């Protein structure tokens, strides 16, 4: 039996792209999914698809930038399923532009979603995971969490923060003996709706060109499943998954 079967998984950003693909893969392996994102109708559609295939999923519309809503999400999972085994911090946005364009609202939102959203989710699940002395937190960083490129300065900053948060959390839990595993997932170009969050035409044109070699979200979903299904004393801490032809 898969080491995923029966695990309760909170998945943010489940309404499209990598999140949606991950929900389907994990549900097919017997996970109990708690699907979170802002677009409820997309979540309900995904829930129906999972249920029609014999899987388990519940839906909780959630904005990750709200600490209250993140606490409510964790409470909902605990009330419905009695435990939280896995948190996948997947929600994210990528509005890219050179700094001189002063897209300050986009910087603020990116920091709120990509950094604060991840922290709020960790804060919401850590108490119950620590109490049960088990758990797994996976954070979607990016190749941009390891490299820096022009136009992606703020996005790279947020994803470097995610990489740092993953490693810091890993060390804190390892030294505390809580048996909580941490995995930092760093995809390269993946086909999804992410590019639509870039409003700057110049950056969008560059991204459209770069993403011609993008791989399907399903490839990241399988990597996430691989990390989760390892034995509980094995932690895959870092995965970088690029299209074979991606250079940077």
Ligand X SMILES: NC(=O)c1ccc[n+]([C@@H]2O[C@H](COP(=O)([O-])OP(=O)(O)OC[C@H]3O[C@@H](n4cnc5c(N)ncnc54)[C@H](OP(=O)(O)O)[C@@H]3O)[C@@H](O)[C@H]2O)c1
Closest CA to 136 of 60, 33, 243, 228: 228
Question: Which CB, 135 or 145, lies closer to ligand X?
Answer: 145
- Which of 7, 60, 77, 90 touches ligand X (CB under 6 A)? 90
Cβ neighbours of residue 144 under 8 Å, at least 6 residues apart?
Answer: 152, 155, 156, 159, 160
Question: Which CB, 179 or 211, lies closer to ligand X?
Answer: 211
What part of residues 100-159 is at the interface with ligand X (CB under 6 A)? 113, 140, 142
In the set 76, 120, 149, 155, the catalytic residue is 155
At which residue do the structure tokens 């392996």 appear? Answer: 29
- Which of 74, 91, 169, 221 touches ligand X (CB under 6 A)? 91
| Shortest Å distance, C-beta 130 to ligand X | 25
What are the helix (H) ranges across 82-179?
A: 104-110, 117-132, 153-176
16-41: string of b/e by CB count within 10 Å (b at 16+)?
bbbbbbbbbbbbbbbbbbbbbbeeee
| Shortest Å distance, C-beta 5 to ligand X | 25
**Residues that contact ligand X, how many (by CB under 6 A):** 31
Stretch that binds ligand X, among 9-17, 23-31, 46-54, 78-86 (CB under 6 A): 9-17
* Contact present, 14 and 43 (Cβ < 8 Å): yes
* Contact present, 122 and 172 (Cβ < 8 Å): no
CA distance linking residue 151 with residue 154, whole number of Å: 8
Q: What are the phi and psi torsion angles at 208 (to 5°)?
A: -60, -40
- Which of 80, 108, 172, 193 touches ligand X (CB under 6 A)? 193
Q: Give the contact letters, 169-188, x = binds to ligand X (CB under 6 A), - = no.
A: ------------------x-
Contact between 192 and ligand X (CB under 6 A)? Answer: yes
| Shortest Å distance, C-beta 186 to ligand X | 7
Stretch that binds ligand X, among 44-52, 70-78, 84-92, 168-176 (CB under 6 A): 84-92
Stretch that binds ligand X, among 61-69, 78-86, 200-208, 228-236 (CB under 6 A): 61-69
Stretch that binds ligand X, among 48-56, 74-82, 92-100, 175-183 (CB under 6 A): 92-100
- Which of 55, 92, 95, 151 touches ligand X (CB under 6 A)? 92
* Contact present, 60 and 76 (Cβ < 8 Å): yes
Cβ neighbours of residue 235 under 8 Å, at least 6 residues apart?
Answer: 170, 181, 182, 183
Instruction: Report in angstroms the alpha-carbon separations of 109 from 106, 177, 196, 236.
Output: 5, 35, 15, 30
Q: Which residues bind ligand X (CB under 6 A)?
A: 12-19, 37-39, 42, 62-65, 90-94, 113, 140, 142, 187, 189-190, 192-194, 217
């Amino acid at each position: 039996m898969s080491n995923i079967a029966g695990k309760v998984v909170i998945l943010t950003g489940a309404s499209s792209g990598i999140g949606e693909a991950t929900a389907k893969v994990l549900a097919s392996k017997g996970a109990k999914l708690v699907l979170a994102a802002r677009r409820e109708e997309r979540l309900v559609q995904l829930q129906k698809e999972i249920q029609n295939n014999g899987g388990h999923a519940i839906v909780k519309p959630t904005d990750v930038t709200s600490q209250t809503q993140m606490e409510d999400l964790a409470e909902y999972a605990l009330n419905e399923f009695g435990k939280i085994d896995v948190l996948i911090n997947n929600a994210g946005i990528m509005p890219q532009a050179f700094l001189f364009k002063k897209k300050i609202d986009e910087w603020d939102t990116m920091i709120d979603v990509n950094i604060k959203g991840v922290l709020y989710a960790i804060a919401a699940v850590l108490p119950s995971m620590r109490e049960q002395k088990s758990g797994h937190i996976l954070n979607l960083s990016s190749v941009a969490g390891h490299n820096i490129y022009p136009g992606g300065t703020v996005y790279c900053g947020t994803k470097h923060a995610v990489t740092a948060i993953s490693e810091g959390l890993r060390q804190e839990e390892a030294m505390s003996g809580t048996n909580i595993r941490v995995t930092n997932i760093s995809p390269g170009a993946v086909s999804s709706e992410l590019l639509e969050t870039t409003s700057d035409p110049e950056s969008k044109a560059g991204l459209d060109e770069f993403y011609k070699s993008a791989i399907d979200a399903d490839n990241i979903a399988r990597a996430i499943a691989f990390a989760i299904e390892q034995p509980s004393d094995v932690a895959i801490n870092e995965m970088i998954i690029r299209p074979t032809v991606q250079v940077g």
